[in-house]
């Protein structure tokens, strides 16, 4: 088998690993994190993990890049919610399936914004919905930034630390199952689009609760 033939048989993981060596890899990663916090349903870890496995010495720098660029992207999402919700923000929220229960979500931010930021920053909940809702609710900007840094820091520094300390074992496992790793990345991307709407409850129960509460109130007044 010639070298050309061997190269042509490289799988998705091999090509992605090679791409991480490109001089623009870090700016592209930063852009992905920025967009992920504002509008795009993608997992930055798909690019982040191979970059660290290719050179573990970059782990902490990459974690910092991801954290900062994600918070900056979150500020863009906040601005969309604050200034452009009716023209752009609502379409994004609806796309992620949070439109029906948005008013309930907004009230949660008004009542306990910092906790909602932390939950959204580290959980599978689409962070762009969290950032846009923060803007709509008028959450204090410094609170948004500080808790965003904490949450996004946990989101990126923890896995980067795991890849740093256990990188050789993880690399050996992936090298052994390259095809599975490649398909796993594709499935993760598709899942990011497909599952996002399922993470938010519909407002059907909320809509039903209000008339019920009003009926109970009427009964109490009549009695």
- Across all residues in the chain, what is the average pLDDT? 76
Percent of the chain with pLDDT over 90: 25
The band of 82, judged by pLDDT with boundaries at 50, 70 and 90, is very high
Section 80-101 average pLDDT: 83
The band of 2, judged by pLDDT with boundaries at 50, 70 and 90, is very low
The per-residue pLDDT for 33 is: 93
The per-residue pLDDT for 156 is: 93
Where in the chain are the domains? Answer: 12-222
- Is 0.75 topped by the overall pTM? no
The band of 74, judged by pLDDT with boundaries at 50, 70 and 90, is very high
The per-residue pLDDT for 103 is: 80
Higher-scoring residue by pLDDT: 86, 123: 86
Between vectors from CA 158 to CA 135 and to CA 131, what angle results, nearest 5°? 5
């Amino acid at each position: 088998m010639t070298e050309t033939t061997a190269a042509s048989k490289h799988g998705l993981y091999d090509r992605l690993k090679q791409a991480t060596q490109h001089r623009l890899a870090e700016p592209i990663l930063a852009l992905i994190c920025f967009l992920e916090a504002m509008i795009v349903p993608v997992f930055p870890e798909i690019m982040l993990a191979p970059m660290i496995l290719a050179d573990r010495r970059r782990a902490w720098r990459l974690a910092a890049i991801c954290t900062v660029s994600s918070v900056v992207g979150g500020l863009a999402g906040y601005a969309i919610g604050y200034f452009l919700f009716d023209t752009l923000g609502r379409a994004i929220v609806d796309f992620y399936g949070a439109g029906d229960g948005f008013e309930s979500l907004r009230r949660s931010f008004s009542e306990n914004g910092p906790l909602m930021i932390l939950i959204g920053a580290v959980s599978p909940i689409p962070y762009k919905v969290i950032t846009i809702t923060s803007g709509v609710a008028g959450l204090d900007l410094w609170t948004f930034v500080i808790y965003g840094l904490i949450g996004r820091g946990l989101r990126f520094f923890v896995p980067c630390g795991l890849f740093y300390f256990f990188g050789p074992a993880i690399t050996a496992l992936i090298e052994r199952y390259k095809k599975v790793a490649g398909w796993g990345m594709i499935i993760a991307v598709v899942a990011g689009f497909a599952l996002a709407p399922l993470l938010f409850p519909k407002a059907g129960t909320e809509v039903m609760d209000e008339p019920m509460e009003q009926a109970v109130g009427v009964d109490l007044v009549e009695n």
